[in-house]
Structure 1
Amino acid sequence: MIGENGLPGGLDRVEFVSARTNGRRSVSIAGTLPLRLLTHAEEKWWLPRAYYALLDQAGQVEKNLFARARICSRCGAQGPYLGGWRTPTTSGYVTMCPPCSGAEFTPYTGHLRGVAYGQMRARKLRADDYLCRVCQSSRASVWDHCHEHDPVRSPVCASCNTIEGMGTPEHLLRREEVVAHLLECGRCRSERTLPPRFHAAVAQLHLEAEARHASCPVQLHVRHQDTTQAGHVFDLHWTKKWRQEVPAVEAHELVRVFVDQVLAAEPPEARVPGPRAASDMDART
């Protein structure tokens, strides 16, 4: 509510400044705290003209930087507004479109499958020699590995590494490139499994595809509610009055079936490891 003096809640200037700066997080304008420059006159609040012009200049500089960050440094193509083409290099971040990144960095072919993560670090093999295994459009920055079994998976960029570790499991499993990356772990492949945090997501996808309630026309609204030692509990309707539990044993079997389907759809060259990993490491060190 705006008071008679033009400020929220009927505050005067002193109260307004105190309310905006004494909290745990100060509220700023364009990254600054210009409140002392405010002047109240003629029932309006005023800023100095020079300061107003400075804020305009700062906005224009930021706009120009965004525009420059969208241009591929190799071919000049224009990329997405939010800088999706930004990739790290030895001289800092640059903008490179997916085709130019593919030509600049080596695609990962799974030839290090089965190598322990500790060996990768000891041998100091560089992930940034490769293209990101997941997005295939940015330079990799780290070697991702399976936290359950330890083997290295593949080189990924910082963005994809964060998404794989913190993204919503059921959304990640809908992306073929993410599932293929998870199965770069040799033990996950041989045991036909996925990391535990994805088990409930596989059960959820199964319920979305198979669960039915007689002839009810209402579309299922499957949401993971809880995980216990016995299994995974799901709400199957937005009212939360229809719940179903998938026992842990059944969830493991669903994961095995899910992985079998993924592996069966792989091209022949992806079904077996490439050249012996030790030879590759010796050649690079």
Structure 2
Amino acid sequence: MPMISPKLACAIFTDETRDASLPLRPDVLLKTMSHHLRWHGHVVVGDVALRLYKHKGSWQYDERDVRRAARDLAAVTVDHDDLVEVVLPGRQWREESSAEGDARGCANWRGQIAGWMYHEALSKELARDRPYTERSEWAQIGENGLPGELTWEEFVSARNGSGSSSTIGGTYPLELFTRSEGRWWLPRAYANLLDRWEVEEEKLLERARLCSRCGARGPRWSGWRTPTKTGYVTMCPPCSGAEFTTYTGHLRGVPYGQMRVRKLRADDYLCRLCQSSRASVWDHCHEHDLVRGPVCASCNTFEGKGLPELLLRREEVVAHLLECSRCCRERTLPLRFHAAVAQAHLKAEARHASCPVQPHVRHRNTTETGHIFDLYCDRHWTKKWKEEVSAAGALELVHTFVDQTLTAGRPEPGVPGPRATSDTHAQT
């Protein structure tokens, strides 16, 4: 089959849909680092799912699929006079969509648009820097249908600047979104297309949950998805365990540079962190150049780019960091975690005068002499102050943190729980 790069696929799709009446955004075809690939291996444009194939480390599309999808979507006629009312969910949708289980994060285009509105309204409110007690009205819907004091112009301007995070199914709904008679409206043909997008996303997710070996049904969000040379496959832990070797720590203390000389393959092992996916790389301590263990691509990104203060709350991550034999022997952690340990200490110990409330602590920056933090008290809103923890002081706190971890017994790697978007600096 004729395989093409995402860049060429985007160009072909753009050309084929140049006269389309749908608000298409073909750039979605370029998002080969998207979480959707891990979830189900497709990019859904409108109501058409385009599969990606991995060849020699690069993601590619079948040109025939791209042209067929483009022509199908270009043929959709949008009648701007045939409108349907769009009833958006309230603020509680965000809480309901964050619930555990299969209900969490279902495809919901109405909820996504509502989420954008509340996000921008809250951003505007936070920019005013008002006390928390005066923020109760930011989520109330105004006469213009938007929460708080958000205007339509501000909303559209903010979302235009957020790129693909304001698209749904490769389309831009705000282009056709209108308000009349106190209600929101969209062309019926487009609203129906978005409904079909929801169905297609859910169908792909459900199919990707089934173990490719035994057919067992796994967790909704890619817990059993394993990267391979040709893309992601779904394998349950028993099938993965039967297929790949469990790492036992036998390479602890080995310099990372020797791994290539020894020709030891990480993908022969299960990921040491999640213990459910095939490993793809050897993780190592960048300060001591010593091997920690084999990890999958997802856990490698999670450990490498996650917020240090969140990573340190996970026992299995701390245990993995201490797989570096020098970190363990010297009772330390990589430097990027020192500020996070000091931050946790200030949160537990620092107080505004005799106030019993834990302050909010934000790491401002790191200098040659130490780490600087901004603190503020929720109970006394106007009380803000600065604390500095010296580099030596932070190192002592790290020693104490590691000692407590080792005294409690080094925990075995566990299955990482759901990762918040904030773990990797993702934005709404």
Q: Identify the TM-score tier after normalising by the shorter chain.
A: 0.7 to 0.9
In terms of Rg, which structure is larger? 1
Corresponding position of 1:37? 77
Corresponding position of 2:58? none
- SS of the aligned residue for 2:396 comes to helix
Query: Which TM-score applies when normalising by structure 1?
Result: 0.73
Corresponding position of 1:78? 217
Alignment of 1:1-285 (within 5 A): 29-30=46-47, 34=74, 37-40=77-80, 47=189, 60-89=199-228, 92-237=231-376, 239=381, 241-266=384-409
Measure the CA separation in 2 of the matches of 1:36 and 1:92.
32
Corresponding position of 2:152? none
Query: Shift of the alpha carbon at 1:37?
Result: 3.3
- SS of the aligned residue for 1:114 comes to coil
- SS of the aligned residue for 1:37 comes to coil
Query: Shift of the alpha carbon at 1:214?
Result: 3.7
Measure the CA separation in 1 of the matches of 2:277 and 2:235.
8
Measure the CA separation in 2 of the matches of 1:165 and 1:267.
21
182-191 vs 239-248, greater mean Cα deviation: 239-248
* 1:175 to 1:35, Cα distance in 2 relative to 1, 3 A: same
* 1:171 to 1:58, Cα distance in 2 relative to 1, 3 A: closer
TM-superposition CA deviations, 1:190-222 (whole Å, max 9, x none): 222111110000111112222233421333212
* 1:237 to 1:103, Cα distance in 2 relative to 1, 3 A: farther
Supply the AA of the counterpart residue of 1:186.
S
Supply the AA of the counterpart residue of 2:367.
T
- SS of the aligned residue for 1:226 comes to strand
Structure 1's unaligned 5+ residue stretches are 1-16, 270-285
204-213 vs 167-176, greater mean Cα deviation: 204-213
Measure the CA separation in 1 of the matches of 2:347 and 2:326.
28
TM-superposition CA deviations, 1:161-217 (whole Å, max 9, x none): 001110000110111111111111122122221111100001111122222334213
Contact 2:316–2:411 under 8 Å retained in 1: no
Contact 2:227–2:297 under 8 Å retained in 1: no
Measure the CA separation in 1 of the matches of 2:326 and 2:280.
24
TM-superposition CA deviations, 1:1-47 (whole Å, max 9, x none): xxxxxxxxxxxxxxxx99x689x999x74576649833455789575
Supply the AA of the counterpart residue of 2:298.
S
Measure the CA separation in 2 of the matches of 1:37 and 1:232.
59
Measure the CA separation in 2 of the matches of 1:215 and 1:152.
47
Measure the CA separation in 1 of the matches of 2:24 and 2:207.
35
Percent identical residues? 67
Measure the CA separation in 1 of the matches of 2:276 and 2:283.
17
Supply the AA of the counterpart residue of 2:391.
A
Measure the CA separation in 2 of the matches of 1:140 and 1:268.
20
Corresponding position of 1:281? none
Superposition CA RMSD, Å: 3.5
- Length, aligned pairs only: 248
172-181 vs 86-95, greater mean Cα deviation: 86-95
216-225 vs 189-198, greater mean Cα deviation: 216-225
- SS of the aligned residue for 1:73 comes to coil
Contact 2:292–2:323 under 8 Å retained in 1: yes
* Deviation beyond 6 Å, 4+ runs, structure 1: 55-58
